[in-house]
């Protein structure tokens, strides 16, 4: 328990030395994409940028990558033994492999891959696919990989995936009046719970705010988050700072930071929220009046 409390103090101390909120928010910028060939022995190319690294949060987020899978491009079959990932596609279709079994998923969707399980992705179509990779490690900053030399091109397909998947399906969202004390009626769903993951990855949430609605001020004592804007425009408030947010922006939120979000646009504001705990199973939300 003393070690855990010391860890919280270190995370809190790091938060005090942060740059302004507007600089902490990551923004997708295709001009910054790097072109990588044969990633983990995969086919073709991957075009991507790093939006967050292991320093973005005090917990064990390792990175957030955002980019494009070009036609006939992908990431080869590989393992991680000290981290887990989730590949996400926002449009189109791609072939996801987990533990040597492959199925096609249509975006917006993803497949979490717990550590010590193999995974890959391949764009079998003739159009680029918008792609994301989220990684959480079991040891702060620890990256590892073991490639299998398998690009998965032409892999046998299962019509129904025999692995865990998630879909960002708006029709499955449930109305929540005054989410965390906010304004209006949000629509919300916990897409993946902590039981899915072996690391301290806590959850994946899907939230939709209509124009004028908001998520009220609240904080977490045991979980850090980042809010990824799938679509729309609005305002993020973290502690005493305010910044405008828009599509393909990612907002980091550390332990004990009071945060809220408001839709100031004319269309729906849609988020994917990733939560990472300071220790496994830590979940809490405290509304701030």
Q: Which of 140, 167, 194 corresponds to the end of one domain?
A: 167
| Structural domain boundaries, residue 137 | 19-167
Do residue 153 and residue 220 come from a single domain?
no
DSSP letter for each residue of 118-176: -EEEE--SSS-EEEEEEEEESSTT----EE-S---TT--B-SS-SS--EE--GGG-EEE
Q: Same domain, yes or no, for 46 and 107?
A: yes
Of the candidates 128, 152, 167, which is a domain's last residue?
A: 167
Whether 241 and 272 map to the same domain: the answer is yes
User: Could you tell me if 180 and 106 lie in one domain?
Assistant: no
Do 128 and 239 sit in the same domain of this protein? no
189-221 confidence digits (pLDDT tens): 999 999 999 999 999 999 999 999 999 999 999
Q: Residue 40 is encoded by which pair of tokens? A: 């983990």
Q: Do 102 and 82 share a structural domain? A: yes
Share of the chain above pLDDT 70, in %: 93
Instruction: Report residue 279's pLDDT band, with 50, 70 and 90 as the boundaries.
Output: confident
Q: What confidence score (pLDDT) does residue 5 get?
A: 52
Residue 7 lies in a domain: no
pTM: 0.93
- pLDDT value of residue 287: 72
Assign residue 197 the CATH number of its domain.
Answer: 2.60.120.10
Is 2 inside a domain boundary?
no
> Bigger pLDDT: 238 or 288?
238
Shared domain for 174 and 163, answered yes or no, is: no
Tokens 């408030």, residue located:
237
**Sign (positive or negative) of CA dihedral 15, 16, 21, 27:** negative
> For residue 66, is it within any domain?
yes
**4 pLDDT exceeds 80?**
no
List strands edge to edge, sheet with 45-52.
34-37, 45-52, 61-69, 129-137, 83-89, 109-113, 166-167
145/226 same-domain check:
no
Domain boundary residue, one of 167, 191, 211: 167
Return the pLDDT at 289: 66
Could you give the number of structural domains in the chain? 2
- Distance CA(179)–CA(134), nearest Å, equals 25
* Sign of the Cα pseudo-torsion (237, 238, 241, 244, in order): negative
- Check if the beta carbon of residue 84 is closer than 8 Å to that of residue 135: yes
Q: What are the φ/ψ torsions at residue 203 (nearest 5 degrees)?
A: -170, 165
Q: Please give the pLDDT value at position 11.
A: 46
pLDDT, tens digit, 9 for 90 and up, residues 32-63: 999 999 999 999 999 999 999 999 999 999 99
Residues 161 and 258 in one domain: no
Same domain? 159 vs 197? no
Can you name the residues that pair with 177 across neighbouring β-strands? 185
75 and 176 inside one domain? no
Q: Are residues 244 and 134 in the same domain?
A: no
Q: Lowest mean pLDDT of 114-128, 234-248, 269-283, name the range.
A: 269-283
């Amino acid at each position: 328990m003393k070690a855990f409390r010391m860890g919280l103090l270190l995370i809190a101390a790091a938060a005090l030395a942060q740059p302004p909120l507007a600089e902490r928010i990551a923004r997708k910028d295709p001009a910054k994409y790097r072109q990588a060939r044969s990633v983990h022995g995969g086919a073709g190319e991957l075009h991507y940028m790093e939006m967050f690294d292991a320093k973005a949060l005090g917990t064990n987020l390792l990175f957030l990558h955002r980019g494009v899978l070009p036609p006939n491009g992908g990431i080869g079959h590989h393992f991680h033994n000290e981290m887990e990932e989730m590949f996400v596609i926002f449009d189109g279709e791609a072939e996801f492999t987990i533990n040597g079994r492959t199925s096609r998923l249509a975006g917006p969707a993803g497949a979490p891959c717990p550590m010590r399980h193999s995974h890959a992705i391949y764009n079998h179509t003739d159009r680029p696919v918008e792609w994301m990779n989220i990684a959480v490690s079991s040891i702060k900053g620890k990256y590892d990989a073991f490639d299998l030399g398998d690009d998965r091109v032409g892999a046998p397909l299962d019509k129904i995936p025999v692995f865990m998947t998630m879909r960002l399906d708006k029709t499955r969202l449930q109305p929540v009046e005054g989410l965390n004390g906010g304004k209006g009626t949000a629509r919300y769903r916990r897409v993946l719970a902590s039981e899915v993951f072996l690391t301290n990855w806590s959850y994946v949430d899907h939230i939709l705010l209509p124009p004028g609605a908001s998520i009220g001020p609240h904080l977490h004592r045991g979980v850090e988050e980042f809010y990824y804007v799938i679509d729309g425009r609005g305002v993020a408030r973290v502690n005493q700072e305010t910044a405008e947010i828009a599509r393909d922006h990612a907002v980091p939120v550390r332990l004990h930071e009071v945060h809220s979000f408001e839709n100031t646009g004319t269309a729906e504001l849609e988020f994917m929220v990733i939560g990472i705990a300071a220790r496994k199973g830590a979940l809490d939300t405290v509304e701030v009046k």
